[in-house]
Amino acid sequence: MKILVAEADPLMSKMLEYRLKIDRHEVMVTRDGSEALKKIEKVRPDLVITDIMMPFTSGLELIRSVKARYITIPVIVLSAPGQANIVIEAFRLGADDYMSKPFNLDELVSVLGQLVIKGGRPS
């Protein structure tokens, strides 16, 4: 599966990339929302994992753009603790799931599997 990871934190993005590649996913990493939008247009990933707070284009703007153009691409949101209002807005814009940082990478992989199996929102 082609997964785009939009994460400003270099350490977090490397951990995500490493873990997802172990499961034999094709992983593309971007450091900001603007770069992520360009990459999505070019490669049409099967899934997007995005941070909320990123330079140039926020995670919320990224979700809005992805869901406006490619409604079937699932989006998993990564958020810092205490961002409940932002997470609610992400769901309103079409996010399929979210994980609060810090999170367990195995849990993220489980959520990813649920999205793939169900073809959309996990139960």
For the chain, domains (ranges, CATH) are: 2-118 (3.40.50.2300)
**pLDDT tens, residue by residue, 64-83:** 999 999 988 999 999 887 78
Specify the DSSP element, H or E, that contains 79.
strand 75-79
* CB neighbour list of residue 74: distance below 8 Å, 6 or more residues apart: 46, 47, 48, 96, 97, 115, 116, 120, 121
Q: Between 59-69 and 33-43, two packed helices, what is the crossing angle to 10 degrees?
A: 20
Of 52, 55, 102, the residue nearest 77 (C-alpha): 52
**pLDDT tens, residue by residue, 34-68:** 999 999 999 999 999 999 988 888 999 999 999 99
Helix, strand, or coil here: 63?
helix
